[in-house]
């Protein structure tokens, strides 16, 4: 840790915050929001069974229980992550420079 430059430490801390945020989102969506959706859908189905009007209940999804701003932030982080894995531009640049590689 003492050998790191401040800029390197800043990048490491930023990546750790991003990973913590993604882990929190995954836990919230996969556990708690899913559980809430299952319970809500179960009550909706039971209510429709005992209802005099035989309508199909509107089912909810796990994403319906998450904050829209939070989902948008996570999608931006995930979108940036997917954009970082696209190396086509770098491969074309290397080909133009005459570099040889496994591509």
Note the pLDDT of residue 70.
86
What integer pLDDT is reported at residue 35 of this predicted model? 93
CA distances from 59 to 14, 40, 45, 55 (A): 38, 8, 9, 12
Summarize pLDDT for 25-42 with one digit per residue, the tens.
889 888 899 999 999 999
Check residue 86 and give its pLDDT. Answer: 66
Low-confidence ranges of the chain (pLDDT < 70): 1, 80-86, 102-103
Output the pLDDT for position 63: 86
CA gyration radius for the chain? 23
Q: Which two tokens stand for residue 56?
A: 């199909």
Residue 103, token pair as written in the block: 């591509």
């Amino acid at each position: 840790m003492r050998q790191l430059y401040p800029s390197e430490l800043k990048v490491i801390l930023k990546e750790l915050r991003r990973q913590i945020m993604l882990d929190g989102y995954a836990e919230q969506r996969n556990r708690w929001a899913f559980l809430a959706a299952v319970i809500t859908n179960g009550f909706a189905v039971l209510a429709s069974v005992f209802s005099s009007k035989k309508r199909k209940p509107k089912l909810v999804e796990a994403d319906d229980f998450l904050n829209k701003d939070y989902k948008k932030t996570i999608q931006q982080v995930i979108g940036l992550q997917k954009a970082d894995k696209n190396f086509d531009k770098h491969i074309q640049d290397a080909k133009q420079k005459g570099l040889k590689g496994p591509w």
